[in-house]
Amino acid sequence: QSALTQPASVSGSPGQSITISCTGTSSDVGGYNYVSWYQQHPGKAPKLMIYGVSNRPSGVSDRFSGSKSGNTASLTISGLQAEDEADYFCSSYASGNTYVFGTGTKVTVL
Amino acid sequence: EVQLSESGGGLVQPGGSLRLSCVASGFTFNRYAMSWVRQAPGKGLEWVSGISGSGGNTYYVDSVKGRFTISRDNSNNTLFLQMNSLTAEDTAVYYCAKNTMIVVKGNWFDPWGQGTLVTVSS
């Protein structure tokens, strides 16, 4: 039950695209299509942004997209905006009916 | 609108116990699994425990097995987390979150409550 690995920080200028990686193992990310991504602003509860690897909940901007290759999932934010500045966490179902989260990535809009 | 509201957090001494509650509204409670997720100060998220819609199946992260017990009262739309033998490492904001299926497997978490802070310190 080790945490998934994410870069500590990613930054970009307004309008640019950034990608956050989330690396696990064949027992979690690589083994199931149950990867989700959460956005968390300071002092707030996490918000679901992507589910099932690449699906967006209703109300989430289409600037957010997700993908997966092997044991690594990715979140891409296109057309970066100031409001996107937040912490982002990936999550995956893992064997044994448990879940594991990523280490978290702080996104900074320059 | 789906709403989740946690309560029961506070300051407790090492070795002590605390019971968290999460009252749910806006959806048919017994049709969804529920989870507890915690976040230590300045740290990342950690899934703690999950329970099926019926309450018949429960799951835990290894670090809390034998110390924490998740349960639910479907008649009163309430989720609980009984925490015993608390240590400083259990200090965190505890969030309850609605799963997206009746079983714990293969879910994501949406929405989340606002969280309740548990501080374990002497």
Euclidean distance between CA atoms A42 and B1, whole angstroms: 23
Count of A–B CB contacts within 8 Å? Answer: 68
Q: Which residues of A touch B34 (CB under 8 A)?
A: none
DSSP-derived letter for residue B102 is S
pLDDT at A1 over 80: no
Q: Which amino acid is at A48?
A: L
User: Tell me: the pLDDT tens digits for B19-73?
Assistant: 999 999 999 999 999 999 999 999 999 999 999 999 999 999 999 999 999 999 9
The residue in chain B having the minimum alpha-carbon distance to the alpha carbon of residue A87 is B44
Q: Does B47 reach chain A within 8 Å, measured CB to CB?
A: yes
Amino acid A95: pLDDT: 86
Q: pLDDT at position A58, please?
A: 95
Chain A environment of B62 (Cβ under 8 Å): 1
Q: Determine which of A98, A105, A106 to mutate to test the interface with B (most B C-beta atoms within 10 Å).
A: A98
